[in-house]
Amino acid sequence: MDLERFPGGDLVSRGLRDLARGEDTVAALLVLVGAPRLRRLGLQVPETRVPEVEHVLYERLAEADPDAAHGRYNALIRLLVSFERAAECAG
């Protein structure tokens, strides 16, 4: 599946690559948030090794910019959902 043809596909691709390298980046954490649905789409997402991954993602965003963390978190989640919906429709 060409992930990058869907909205947010570049971020999902980056997250999958980061996870494969064992890196817990913002993109990797976002992929872990969406892991169950992404697996149903046929993507190979490793089992979540981060407890409460949603909180960890938010904390990582807050470390970078506390004032923008909430908005950025919501924007990333919306982008993930857009990706999942588009991929399901194409599936």
Longest dimension (CA), the chain: 38
First vs last Cα of the chain: how many Å apart? 9
Question: What average pLDDT does the segment 64-69 reach?
Answer: 96
The domain spans of the chain are 3-90
Which whole number is the average pLDDT over 44-61?
Answer: 91
CB contact at 8 A, 33 and 77: yes
Tell me if 87 sits within 8 A of 6, measured CB to CB: yes
* Whether the predicted pLDDT of 50 surpasses 90: no
The answer to whether 20 and 12 have CB atoms below 8 angstroms apart is no
Q: What is the mean pLDDT of residues 62-67?
A: 96
Q: Compute and round to an integer the Cα radius of gyration of the chain.
A: 13
Whole-number pLDDT of residue 48: 72
